[in-house]
Amino acid sequence: TFDVTFSTAGHNVPSTLYGLMYEDINHSGDGGLYAELIQNRAFQQVTPGTSAALTAWAALGSAKISVVASSSPVSSALPNALSFAVPSGTTSTVGFTNSGYFGIPVTAGWTYTGSFYYRTPTPPATKVTGSFTADLRSTSGTVFTSTTVPFTTSSTWQQATFTFTASSTQSAVTNLFALSVGGSTVAGLTMEFTLISLFPPTFNGRTNGFRMDLSETLLDMKPAFFRFPGGNNLEGETAADRWAWENTVGDLVDRPGRVGDWGYINTDGLGLYEYLQWIEDMDMQPIMAVKTTGYSLNGASVASNDMQTYITEAINQINFVIGDASTNAQAAIRSSMGHPDPFTLNYIEIGNEDFFSPTTYADYRWADLYNALHAEFPQLHYIATSATSGNVPSLSPAPTYWDLHIYSNPNFFINGAYNFDILSRNGLQFFQGEYATTTENSGAALTYPFIDGSIAEAAYMAGFDRNSDIVFAASYAPLLNHVSSTQWTPDLITFSPNTVIRSTSYYVQQLYSLYKGDFYLTSTTNTASSPVQWSVTRDTSAGQYFLKVINTATSANTVVFTLPFTPSQTNGTGTILTAASGTQNTPTNPNAAVPSSFSFTAGKTITYNAPGLSLSVLVVTA
């Protein structure tokens, strides 16, 4: 039995304590949060004439398709186009299909919004007018919804738009988007197409917006912040293909995309503006990284006297977010995209995991950027990157905020539950920007989080509550993975085109975030590696106390709380996440472990028998 007493002494819990770490990894962005359904929609960053250039595309009927460098590109950012050649004498239906990001969902009642650019490089003497049919169909050709889209042959690019509404829901996602036309109408013609786009309804109905079910899943965590755009995907394999904010804003036709750091092309259709608008819609605040500090994943660093380029770009990036649209050019772009007022911005992270190259980061990259940005935007907080908890490289100027990352096994998180208690209170504020149980204690890799690791994370997170006077933010990583294209496991949330699986670690993150409170009450201290950890926080305005109990042992343990007051209500309600050792939520068993509610008697003392491998939150009303 563990006897826990607590007083009304303690410290404030920062509102920023629990949030989300995001980067476009595992198709978290393109094919995930970004609602665009067409993969390889503008043939960005591909080599014309290769089969890879045609990823996700296939011909219908006797048409010949290939990716070409258009002789008259739709824009300098999008030089490539799909060439669609119809042999003379063709009479049967021709066209082309796209298989989406490993599938396309068909959902009854959804009105899909589509568009494409098209032209006829060498139009016939007598212009041809006709109609394309745009549809969603199964791979066997069953059409679920369709509409016609008139066209006229012209050598100049036209943009066609259309909508259609699905009348059925298909459980299968192996569906195709198709554009087709009667062969006789276009026999002998060669046409070009690009930026072929199809959106479902989006979160908050935003144009060029976010996938609804994934947004709702994240909203259910009430996350306080969103760290973006990376993570490694910020940095680029080389400086040339780093994430460059200016290439991710403005019209989609002006965004070149880039080769991301996780093995696939990023359209950058999900760009800085879309991230910020969604963050605002989700009641979060950004922790925004300024793109590389001149450090690339290949280990190269920009020379000290070449840093000005990055400094200027970082200043421009921040001005895009918070500048005055009437006086600043970057802020004027933001305004023209629909947000004249500045977005909320308090935190800037300078780089990501720069400890890989501590010399140039410590020698000049941190100082150059920090000094310039702090001078320009003194009201913002600047986060330095480091790797290890506690002992961080010494930097000058001395940072106030540090981003720590740790990936390990359950024992690390159980034994490390007091890692922050032992740190000196010297003004340093910690951001546990990335952490997760990534292997079993045996070292065996994890494809999905498992309850043993999730409850170990919960034990570690009691340390975040307890030390939230110096831990201002924490987020599990990575956040998302597409079940059909994953570079890193485990992840907090696994998704397919039409399903979302909440892992056991998702529920731990959710419970800590929902029951964060605003004040931590000092309670009986415990020791690291104890099988039981606890945390008591309070929602002061609601007069509610949240007694968290974490039991990392496989057998039950009893905790007896002695409260400094007598609760006004004796019927307490609690929420518990618990499961047998090894349990995982997976695509085939998505609800193997989900939180459930329970009742308990709330009095001056509360005896709680915590099941093995459990996180419980007992809510007591003062």
Ligand X SMILES: O=S(=O)(O)O[C@H]1C[C@H](O)[C@@H](O)[C@@H]1CO
Question: Residue 145, interface with ligand X (CB under 6 A)?
Answer: no
Sheet holding 493-495, edge to edge: 480-482, 493-495, 500-502
Interface with ligand X by CB under 6 A: which range of 226-234, 274-282, 304-312, 560-568?
A: 226-234
Question: Residue 229, interface with ligand X (CB under 6 A)?
Answer: no
Question: Residue 349, interface with ligand X (CB under 6 A)?
Answer: no
Contact 94, 63 (CB under 8 A): yes
Interface with ligand X by CB under 6 A: which range of 27-35, 98-106, 107-115, 229-237?
A: 229-237
Interface with ligand X by CB under 6 A: which range of 49-57, 117-125, 225-233, 445-453?
A: 225-233
**Residue 110: CB minimum distance to ligand X, A:** 32
Can you tell me which residue has the tokens 């929609």?
41
End-to-end CA distance of the chain: 25
Query: Computed from CA positions of residues 251, 252, 256, 261, in that sequence, does the dihedral angle turn out positive or negative?
Result: positive
Distance between CA atoms of residues 179 and 589, nearest Å: 37
In DSSP terms, 383 is beta-bridged to: 349, 401
State the DSSP string of 277-314: HHHHHTT-EEEEEES-SSB-TTS-B--GGGTHHHHHHH
Q: Out of 231, 260, 449, 490, which residue is the one contacting ligand X (CB under 6 A)?
A: 231
Select 316 or 454, whichever has its Cβ closest to ligand X.
454
Distance between CA atoms of residues 83 and 64, nearest Å: 8
Question: Residue 478, interface with ligand X (CB under 6 A)?
Answer: yes
Q: Binding pattern to ligand X, positions 517-536, x when CB under 6 A?
A: --------------------
Please return the burial class of 219, using the count of CB atoms within 10 Å of its CB with bins 0-12, 13-18 and 19+: middle
**Residue 154: CB minimum distance to ligand X, A:** 45
Question: Residue 351, interface with ligand X (CB under 6 A)?
Answer: no
Interface with ligand X by CB under 6 A: which range of 88-96, 193-201, 224-232, 300-308?
A: 224-232
Select 209 or 286, whichever has its Cβ closest to ligand X.
286
Q: Out of 22, 23, 192, 295, which residue is the one contacting ligand X (CB under 6 A)?
A: 23
Distance between CA atoms of residues 178 and 134, nearest Å: 6
Contact 213, 222 (CB under 8 A): no
Q: Which amino acid is at 259?
A: V
Question: Residue 488, interface with ligand X (CB under 6 A)?
Answer: yes
Phi, psi of 126 (to 5 degrees): -95, 115
Helices 329-336 + 308-322 axis angle, to 10: 40
Question: Residue 491, interface with ligand X (CB under 6 A)?
Answer: no
Q: Binding pattern to ligand X, positions 393-422, x when CB under 6 A?
A: ------------x-----------------
Q: Out of 135, 353, 457, 465, which residue is the one contacting ligand X (CB under 6 A)?
A: 353
Q: How many residues interact with ligand X (rule CB under 6 A)?
A: 11
Question: Residue 102, interface with ligand X (CB under 6 A)?
Answer: no
Q: Out of 352, 386, 578, 585, which residue is the one contacting ligand X (CB under 6 A)?
A: 352
Can you tell me which residue has the tokens 């996938």?
211
Interface with ligand X by CB under 6 A: which range of 201-209, 210-218, 228-236, 451-459?
A: 228-236
Site for ligand X in 412-471 (CB under 6 A): 434
Question: Residue 509, interface with ligand X (CB under 6 A)?
Answer: no
Distance between CA atoms of residues 230 and 353, nearest Å: 10
**Residue 596: CB minimum distance to ligand X, A:** 30
Distance between CA atoms of residues 353 and 578, nearest Å: 34
Q: Out of 26, 70, 97, 232, which residue is the one contacting ligand X (CB under 6 A)?
A: 232
Instruction: List residues binding ligand X (CB under 6 A).
Output: 23, 230-232, 352-353, 405, 434, 477-478, 488
